Amino acid sequence: MKFSCRTQDLLSGLQLVSRAIGSDQVLPILQNILLHTEGKRCTLSATNLEVSIVTSFEVSIENEGSITIPAKAILNFMQYNQDEEVVVETSEGTQLKLHSKRARAVISGEAASGFPTITSIQKETTFSLQTTPLLHALNLVTFACAKTSSRPVISGVFVRLEKGKLILVGTDSYRLSEYRIDGGGGSGEVSCIIPARFLEELKSVILLQKSPKEDGQSTDEKPKKKQGSGEDQVEISLSSQQIEVHLGPTRLMSRLIDGKFPDYVQVLPKEKHTTATIGVKELLSAVKRMHYFAKELNNNITFEVTKAGLRLQTKQTQLGRDESLIPIDVVGIENKIAISSTYLIDFLSRLSSEKVSIELSDKMHPAVFRLDGQENFLHLIMPLRMSEE
């Protein structure tokens, strides 16, 4: 194998696929990236057997071939190579030579035959989405999923395609995010649970491949309609056990999570007695400040909606206590609830919206958060036991 290419093209591809490499020590070859050249393109592949990422780019090929190379070794060389072009060739079967105008290296690799085969899935359902609303949805949903695998079904995002609308739900039993994307571009009805880690990697790939113009838009802002058809599209295919996503020259694959997702609809409050609208920056600043004391008592902060404003307070601890009164717009009765400061910070830190609305029923039911002008999204946080003075 021998080819030449732009240094940045090879580096970008290596950085992208390396996101699929885990910490598996049982199969050392999983720490490698597969390089395969054919026609006019070089294809890079990496997998941890759960998530796989494959991408390709145009190169000038002298001899076709394949080899697997330790990801850390080739990334180290490419990251610090300042030359615009690089020549890559195999030597003595499993040696890879890299040389450019001012740098050269030889890396020991392994035969491509030992690398796991990454094949496309048997597609049963396929639909397309624009990347901007998908990125927006992932930013507001995946963080709410459980971080442990003790209950696999809630370590993933529940996805339902229903009458052309895609619904994404993430929860860890203490908080929940639901986002609805209109015009999913699919037909029929589909439901599955996609690993949150896979969707986090998809989010990273989208961000890496977005154009500079799009990078200026925050991922939690309401998606803006663009003129023409310049918006990037992501194609999503599902089988009974796998998902495959195509984004330009890149495809990502993962197993789906087997199991039944909790009936989350039953925990959504059926009525609201109070709606308080408040500035995000003011609320986040106050909660971050009060978290210093709240973390001593299960992250407990009391929210009290009054005519004077939103009163936040922590219970007295050995470290002390804190209290804040923030101006709000209120519809309904005065109300009170205790909420985790950690969950609040996690949610509010993701927003660039100026305002957030908090809907309350009573101290026993969850608080529901909505963003201004976005009826397709809600975030729910379960209440804590009220700290009585």
* Complete DSSP assignment for 238-253: E-SSEEEEEETTEEEE
Are the C-beta atoms of 169 and 193 separated by less than 8 Å? no
Are the C-beta atoms of 353 and 217 separated by less than 8 Å? no
**What is the distance, to the nearest Å, from the Cα of residue 314 to the centroid of all Cα atoms in its chain?**
32
Alpha-carbon distance values, 214 to 58, 209, 227 (Å): 24, 10, 13
What are 219-239's pLDDT values in tens digits? 455 444 443 344 588 999 999
Residue 165: the pLDDT is 85
Q: Which two tokens stand for residue 233?
A: 């599209």
What are 107-123's pLDDT values in tens digits? 999 999 999 999 989 88
Residue 150: the pLDDT is 85
Residue 123: the pLDDT is 87
Residue 215: the pLDDT is 41
Residue 327, Cβ density class (10 Å: 0-12 exposed, 13-18 middle, ≥19 buried): exposed
Ranges in the chain, pLDDT < 50: 211-219, 222-230, 389
Residue 389: the pLDDT is 44
C-alpha to C-alpha distance for 95 and 93, rounded to whole angstroms: 6
Range 368-381 burial, b when 16+ CB lie within 10 A, else e: bbbbeebebbbbbb
**What is the distance, to the nearest Å, from the Cα of residue 5 to the centroid of all Cα atoms in its chain?**
31
Stated pTM of the model = 0.88
Domains and CATH numbers, the chain: 2-114 (3.10.150.10), 125-221+231-255 (3.10.150.10), 270-381 (3.10.150.10)
What are 121-177's pLDDT values in tens digits? 988 888 889 999 999 999 999 999 999 878 999 999 999 988 778 999 999 999 999
State whether residue 320 is helix, strand or coil: coil
Q: Which two tokens stand for residue 226?
A: 């663009």
Side by side, which strands form the sheet with 233-238?
65-70, 32-38, 41-47, 51-58, 250-255, 242-247, 233-238, 125-130
**What is the distance, to the nearest Å, from the Cα of residue 110 to the centroid of all Cα atoms in its chain?**
32
